[in-house]
Structure 1
Amino acid sequence: MQKQGLKLAYAFAVLNAVIIGFSFLFTKVALGHAGPLDTLTYRFAASFAVMSVPVALGWVKVSYRGKPIGRALLLAAMYPLGFFTLQVFGLQHATSAEGGILYSFTPVVTMIIASIFLKETTTLLQKLCIFLSVFGVVFIFVMKGSSIQLSNMTGIVLLFMTCLAFAGYSVLARSLSRHFSPAELSYLMMGIGFATFLIISLTGHAAGGTFSDFLSPLKSGTFILSAVYLGVIASLVTTLTSTYILSKIEASLMSVFTNLSTIVSIAAGALFLGEEITVYHWIGSFLIIAGVVGTNLLGRKKAKAKPGADRTEPLSR
């Protein structure tokens, strides 16, 4: 049972990378119809609405009584609130390429924070594999002619803070997985995300007298499809699966899978936008995959030496 749970966790980690990789494409489409905050509002409206149905019908049980709700609220403050807010404003002062480069360092930041707060340990070879996956992402962006411009320091700082927010989420979610089911954490996070971004967005439109702009994206079927993908698939599904993953494997091992999304975004760009795939894309992708596989194969051998480190928990209670 434990081995099956571990296999499922790794399958979910790969699935998440694929979903996130395609989310860049859908985000570009959505932002063509609505501003960043409005897009986030509709994104979390979709995720919260979809999950509210099984919760209301009793198909998914959620209970927060007697549980560390304060820490769960801190989790929601890191992700989705902190992560997406920092990302939106960071990209206003920096390029998407800079965002991609900085986001690739998330596994390194997660490894450091997890070692401090969760006492997770990684071997030298695991550390080298994590850095190899990061180097693969940076290599692709640098070969494309992208770099980090110090003149965009405000954006760079904000985007680096998204790494801290996601790393903090990964570490805290692993800790909270002993108290909450994935469904309970996900429902709380989606609800807080929806309520917060809705208030911010409506306040901004009310102050500017542009409420019609808030509703106008709903006239586009393309925008609705993008919002549903971003909300239901890229937010709700990945949050559910991430919480499950973190109940099975270390935060530092899970986080390295995020760099696989770079490969997926390259493939999506080639398939749907006609973007060219060059030799350096293949080299960088190989480095990323080698880093991810190496980190987790070495981690699995290490876990075998310490049986019973993780216990299996169901997706919902």
Structure 2
Amino acid sequence: MTAKRKAYVAAIIYAFVIGLSFMFVKVTLTVASPIDTLAHRFTIALIGIVILIVFTQNMLKINKQDVARILPLALLYPIAFFTFQVLGLARISSTEAGIIQAAIPIFTLVLASVILKEKATREQLTFISLSVFGVIYMLFMNNGNASSENLIGSGFILLSACAASLYNVLARKLTKQYSLMTLTYVMTLCGFVIFNGLAIGNHLINGTLLQFFKPFEHVDFVIAILYLGILSSLITSYLSNYTLSILEASKMSVFSNFATLITILAGVIFLQETFHVYHLIGGIVIIIGVIGTNYFGHKRGAQ
């Protein structure tokens, strides 16, 4: 199997895991606060990567300069990405969140044009506008048919998508400079320190430290947090870094559409979430825009 094929397989697995993660986040939020969920998630992820390093005898050599270089990336993913995601999922359905995050390839292309000076063609700009219209249409319909919290939740998911897009653009350079294990370890460690610091600090201030461990009394929470910690945090960090070390950011971001399909199916089948007609219309418009944007991008690259 060639390196590119391996990268595509990694991207597909990444998208499948991320797609199901929305459902598991919703499960954890039934018994834990958003910040506690993130703290437990990255505690599990850190334990997982430490065990992996010990068993593989992979000695990491990381100095302060390395941490300083990787930290800005870690602030985007996992810190900003997962913070905005969990805050959004606390307010809207996983189906709606998944559809909105399908716009990640569009944000990635726009940011790449600004930061990397990659110019978009007229056709690409047309399809970018189409995807943006799809997102705006969904937000407008949500605002008219749901509670006041819905618009805030959608806004958080949009911010999460922007963080993921910026990460896609900036990660390409670092994946050439550091090993995948080094990047994954530092990013996981940052998530562990920041989220646990915030969660434990909040419980200490309120005198509710024992409640921090209460969610582990629920079997559903334990299963969900293991999935989120090991698969959706640790494994996806490794897979995304691996894929971005081989494929362009725009190609990697296209797989978020597959994740959207998985998210919608999981939400409707397992969580019995309502799927409205405007979800279908908005989702189709967004995906057509993404496919068109990438089609003309590849066509330009082949010329």
TM-score range (shorter-chain normalised) is 0.7 to 0.9
In structure 2, which of residues 101, 104, 107 is the aligned counterpart of residue 106 of structure 1?
104
2:211 partner letter: D
Which position in structure 2 is the counterpart of 1:80? 78
Cα deviations by residue, 1:149-182 (Å, 9 ceiling, x for unpaired): 9997765654433233222211111111110122
Once residues 158 and 150 of structure 2 are traced to their aligned partners in structure 1, the CA distance between those partners, rounded to angstroms, is 12
Separation in 2, partners of 1:143, 1:154:
14
Cα separation, partners in 2 of 1:283 and 1:253, compared to 1, 3 Å: same
Q: Which amino acid aligns with 2:109?
A: M
Looking at structure 1, the residues matched to 85 and 268 of structure 2 have their Cα atoms a distance apart, in angstroms, of 25
Task: Output the amino acid matched with 1:226.
Answer: A
How big is each residue's C-alpha offset from its partner over 1:236-281, in whole Å with a ceiling of 9 and x where there is no partner?
1111111111112221232232233221112213432455778877
Deviation, 1:299, is 5.0
Shift of 1:111: 0.9
Contact persistence 2:105–2:290 (CA under 8 A):
no
Q: TM-score, normalised by structure 1?
A: 0.78
Q: Does 1:47 align with 2:59?
A: no
- 1:70 pairs, out of 48, 68, 71, with 68
Q: Is the 8 A contact 1:136 1:288 kept in 2?
A: yes
Q: What root-mean-square deviation, in Å, do the aligned CA atoms of Structure 1 and Structure 2 show?
A: 3.5
Superposed displacement of residue 53, structure 1: 1.1
CA shift at 1:193, angstroms?
Answer: 0.2
- Within 2, Cα distance between the matches of 1:303 and 1:210? 56
5+ residue gaps, structure 1: 306-317
Structure 1 residue 294: Cα displacement = 5.4
Q: What is the count of residue pairs matched by the alignment? A: 302
Residue in structure 2 matching 1:201, options 199, 209, 214: 199
Letter in 2 for 1:230: L
CA-to-partner distance for each residue in 1:124-165, whole Å, 9 max, x for gaps? 455555666666777778788977999977656544332332
Letter of the aligned partner of 2:254 in structure 1? V
Percent of aligned pairs with the same residue? 38
Structure 2: any 5+ residue segments left out of the alignment?
none
* Conservation of the 8 A alpha-carbon contact between 2:98 and 2:264: no
Equivalents in 2 of 1:110, 1:58: separation in Å?
34
1:184 aligns with 2:182: yes
Change over 3 Å in CA distance of 1:264–1:153 after alignment to 2: closer
CA distance in 2: counterparts of 1:236 and 1:52, whole angstroms: 11
Query: 1:185-264 counterparts in 2 under 5 A?
Result: 185-264=183-262
User: Which deviations, in whole Å up to 9, do the C-alpha atoms of 1:187-207 show, x marking residues without a partner?
Assistant: 111111011111111111111
Q: State the secondary structure of the residue aligned to 1:178.
A: helix
Query: CA contact under 8 A between 1:42 and 1:227: conserved in structure 2?
Result: yes
- Kindly indicate whether the alpha-carbon contact (under 8 Å) linking 1:257 and 1:292 is maintained by their aligned counterparts in 2: no
Cα deviation for residue 63 of structure 1 reads: 2.8
Shift in alpha-carbon separation, 1:21–1:130, aligned structure 2, 3 A: farther
Change (3 A) 1:303 1:190: same
The amino acid across from 1:268 in the alignment is A
8 Å contact kept, 1:41–1:194 = yes
Deviation for aligned residue 1:208: 1.0
Structure 2 CA distance for aligned equivalents of residues 115 and 252 of structure 1 = 11
Cα deviation for residue 64 of structure 1 reads: 2.8
**Larger helix proportion, structure 1 or 2?**
2
